[in-house]
Structure 1
Amino acid sequence: METERLIMRRWRSEDREPFAAMNADPEVMEQFPATLSREQSDAMVDRIESAFEEHGYGLWALQVRATGEFVGFTGLAWQTFEARFTPALEIGWRLARAAWGHGYAGEAAAAAFEHGFGVGGLEEIVSLTAVSNLRSRAVMERLGMVRDPADDFDHPLLPEGHRLRPHVLYRLGRDAWRRGRGAVTR
């Protein structure tokens, strides 16, 4: 898929090194439980690629059209951990620090919504993050996603007392997406 400034594509072997560097950056991983080793990062790419094989979509590698630079991922992934809203298809993103503030997450997410609601025929897509992740929450809101505080939850894969355990859930239904399509602001 392509957007105005990005190419959203399957992963290549040359993406692994910059992805590992991104996953080892404490600032990029601030809203995740820990940074990732090279081996953990490569295993994540393998899981992402397996999801593409299984579903035909997933977390697309993001490449800046003008430069060819790999800057992270945006896309769709099934969440199946035990919670009152799962299983659910989540839209998510992770970008290298140098790519923050350019509107890439929202731009790519809009294309991912187009795929999920258009081609995939999905009824709802969710996004979730730690309560403290204000940058990602701002992207969710710019995308027209809606949070109901009654949906907030403690992430079951994080231990009691972990600073990131409190999570928020944002939702976007297909009808709301159709009404607001094109309304994403950078």
Structure 2
Amino acid sequence: MRKLLTARLVLIPWQQRFAENLIQMSSDERVMRFVGSGLWSRDYAFQRHELALRQWEQRGFGMRAITERDDGAFLGLVSLGDDEASGLEAPVLEIGWWVEPHAWGRGIATEAAAAVRDEAFKRTGASSLTACFHRDNVQSKRIMAKLGMSFAGEVTDRYGKPAHMYALRRAKWMVATNANSSRP
């Protein structure tokens, strides 16, 4: 379980020490406003924390804590999980992110998600990457576009709410990656 480093962030595979961070974030109305489930109870958040720990053991990828590279402060989370309902050719992974409100507007979600997007294609062998957002969540839509994702359809999220799905196929990512790496 390796950490991912970006210019400003350290993305740490989910650990026991992040349980309280998840409990706090999932009970914050600002963070959960566009999550179809609404606010999570403490017990449910802890169940999801335990699930994140197991996913790392079983799959070797999953939820990561987003921390500040300079001081280690917790800024949020970015997740990578199986997406079996996308209708795209497997293996498909789904990416998601939550950022602490005090860190909004700094590009934290985009920076973290770009690192995990690259990990999904380089290390896990994903054929496609998906992400879903609720219509009013224009910030997530912008992040998805910055990641190279494009509209792939209307879906129902895991909580039964309507959402937009965006996707990025490996071939498109490879073209963009090669174009970026050949720039002077």
**TM-score higher than 0.5 here?**
yes
Equivalent position to 1:96, from 89, 100, 108: 100
Query: Matched residue pairs, number?
Result: 174
TM-score normalized with structure 1 length: 0.85
User: Is the 1:63–1:71 Cα contact (8 Å) retained in structure 2?
Assistant: yes
Equivalent position to 2:34, from 23, 31, 35: 31
Q: Paired residue for 2:18? A: 15
Which amino acid is 1:13 matched to? Q
Mark the CA change 1:26 to 1:133 in structure 2 (over 3 Å): closer, same or farther: same
Alpha-carbon distance in structure 1 between the residues aligned to 2:59 and 2:77: 17
User: Is the 2:11–2:66 Cα contact (8 Å) retained in structure 1?
Assistant: yes
Alpha-carbon distance in structure 2 between the residues aligned to 1:108 and 1:91: 11
User: Is the 1:131–1:168 Cα contact (8 Å) retained in structure 2?
Assistant: yes
What's the CA shift for 1:69?
0.8
Mark the CA change 1:39 to 1:156 in structure 2 (over 3 Å): closer, same or farther: closer
User: Is the 2:15–2:53 Cα contact (8 Å) retained in structure 1?
Assistant: no
Alpha-carbon distance in structure 1 between the residues aligned to 2:72 and 2:13: 14
What's the CA shift for 1:179?
2.3
**Structure 2 residue runs without a partner (length 5+):** none
Equivalent position to 2:120, from 105, 116, 121: 116
Q: Paired residue for 1:43? A: 47
Q: Say if 2:159 is the partner of 1:154.
A: no
Q: Paired residue for 2:57? A: 53
SS in 2 for 1:120: coil
User: Is the 1:79–1:86 Cα contact (8 Å) retained in structure 2?
Assistant: no
Alpha-carbon distance in structure 1 between the residues aligned to 2:158 and 2:98: 21
Q: Say if 2:5 is the partner of 1:2.
A: yes
Query: How big is the alpha-carbon RMSD for the aligned residues of Structure 1 and Structure 2?
Result: 2.0
Which amino acid is 2:12 matched to? R
1:127-166, Cα deviation, whole Å (9 max, x unpaired) = 1122221111110011110104xx21233632xxxxxx22
User: Is the 1:124–1:174 Cα contact (8 Å) retained in structure 2?
Assistant: yes
Alpha-carbon distance in structure 1 between the residues aligned to 2:147 and 2:77: 17
Mark the CA change 1:172 to 1:83 in structure 2 (over 3 Å): closer, same or farther: closer
Mark the CA change 1:70 to 1:156 in structure 2 (over 3 Å): closer, same or farther: closer
What's the CA shift for 1:31?
0.6
**Structure 1 residue runs without a partner (length 5+):** 159-164
Identity %: 28
What's the CA shift for 1:104?
1.2
